[in-house]
Structure 1
Amino acid sequence: MDDFKKSAKITHSLNVLSSFNELKQSDCICNFTIKVGDKSFKVHRDLLGAVSKYFKGMFSSNMVEARNGFVVMKDICADAVGQCVDFMYTGEANPTMESVENTLYASHLMQLDVLSSICFDFMENNLSVQHCLLVGRLARLYDRTELETIAERFIVDNFESLILGEDFFHLSKEKLIFYGQKLNKKHEVVWHAVRRWISNKGEKIGSELMETLHFGEFPYKFLLTDLLTDSLVKSSSDAKKKIKWEAALKWAKQSRRHQKLFPDLFELIKLQDFSGDFIRQTVRNEPLVEESHKCKDLLLDVLCARTEVKKYVPHIAVSSDTGIKTLNFQTN
């Protein structure tokens, strides 16, 4: 008996929706109009108020739209509004990847939570290389954490194919770096992605991005044979210096024998070409440099030769084989 009652209730609900839809199709007893651009949708206030919190608030508070009998919706896709109206009358929706962004925006505005859930479910079940960035972006925008995680995993797993598409260029610098760090030692893919993104965005943004690359995670042979010969790197003196430095460290840390040879390699590096900030923040704090008297002496000689050394080296004391070298500078 209970099953019959449930079935009858469902049938009745469907019949009510179906009857309202027939009335709408024949423009019968419609008492409200939704206007979007040059399109108009004649609807029934009672149904919209029952299904949509947006319209319930509009009608129950006697807003000007309720008194006028129409609402003008701006900055919204007319087709998406039409899809929302159809959903309110049928309970059905057939989103596509081409329309889902506009449909989501409209359903979110009208507070049609079920339709929004249908859209998110559709995106999760139709993830592809072509649309995964869109899915990830919409999941973040509407705070769908689970879908965002699924999309990001898909993006990382298919990143090599993804970077060949035009949608790849829509990635922000921050997201490009984020995905690059997730690629786990796939340095060729990371560099290919960064190079293509830089080439599309322009030199200024590219130089900024180059500063964020973790060259230290790249194998030293790849740094020397692939990156240093790349035309994009050759065009950037800063990139070349940073790559050479990281390659030297990578090589030195391969074995203890290499570490013993690091001071001789360090002598061949043109420290005078490095910026003061890079020397102070990176070179000077490298353990291989700190552990070598020869390296510290070479570093001190470079700092002494700089005309503005007092700005960032107020005091240096370096122990060497021949004694203690000490420099004291007064800072402004």
Structure 2
Amino acid sequence: MARKPSKPLVLVLDYDETVTSRDTLALLARWARADSLAIPPEAVSNHPDLSGWHAVVDAYLADLAGCKARQQQQQHFGTHVTLDDYIGATREVDQRSILRVSASRVLAGINRSLIRSKVECLAASTRDRSGADGDSDGDGRHSFVQPGFSSFVQAFDRHFPESIYVLSLNWSKDLIQATLSQCGISVASDRILSNDLEFTSPLEGPASQISTGTIVGDIHNGVDKARKLKELIAAKGLGTTVVYIGDSAFLGLSSSDLPCAIAADIGILIRRSSALDVCERFSIPVADLPRDIGACKQSVLYVAPDGWRSVGQTMHFTTL
């Protein structure tokens, strides 16, 4: 028999590669070019007009390489570095990247309603290949969302209505909202804590709102995400348990999810990766997610051995 945790839960989710099975930022660039060029999005990945996007990515990777060299030098000379210092080392790199993307206008011209329709098409096509929850083949290779996520998040929403938040470095709230809608839940824009695209004609309907290509927002790395999460925890008070679930994969030099997972009442990573080496370096305890949420401790970072299915079992929600 399913039972609820003793305190109401607030679920805070990372988005890219936590909810989704892939990073989605490149999709925005492809959709923007497909929309402005009136060509199918599947034909645009190698189109010459994407050269601006490739240039932005190359510049970002070059900046990261320089930052990594400085970090290695600090480690070689035994310079004391805190976890926030380590995660925040890419702050200037990330800020320059966002300014570079905005200046390049590679995301200009995309229609708000088009973002939602493309997510609908993408989700439908992956469901056709992978089943209703994107996991009929057992490995989720063809799914737009992570295996087991949709059924878990629907069950959570039934138990704790309006208690799901998304905290992400992503650049489009429309993209995040549309994805969650395809997973069977509705999350209001004020519960999506992320950057966003700037649009023209803000007083008119979505059909007439076109992206200027400028990215607005102040969530650039893991330290920024942790700041937002701490603000949310303070607002919720002591009567709830805030659970943060993220992806342990590296973005650049570090995992942007580690500071949030540590700051939350319960921090969970949906898979293991080399990012857990950072936990060892900074003496952060790591354990497999137990089968009962009551056994979780704030001082421990948990890894879900079977992804979202493990999370559902721990919270006593079925995801099958």
The TM-score range, normalised by the shorter chain, is: under 0.3
Between Structure 1 and Structure 2, which shows a larger proportion of helix residues? 1
| Relative contact order, higher structure (CA 8 A, sep 6+) | 2
Between Structure 1 and Structure 2, which shows a larger proportion of strand residues? 2
TM-score normalised to structure 2 length? 0.26
Larger radius of gyration: 1
TM-score normalised to structure 1 length? 0.26
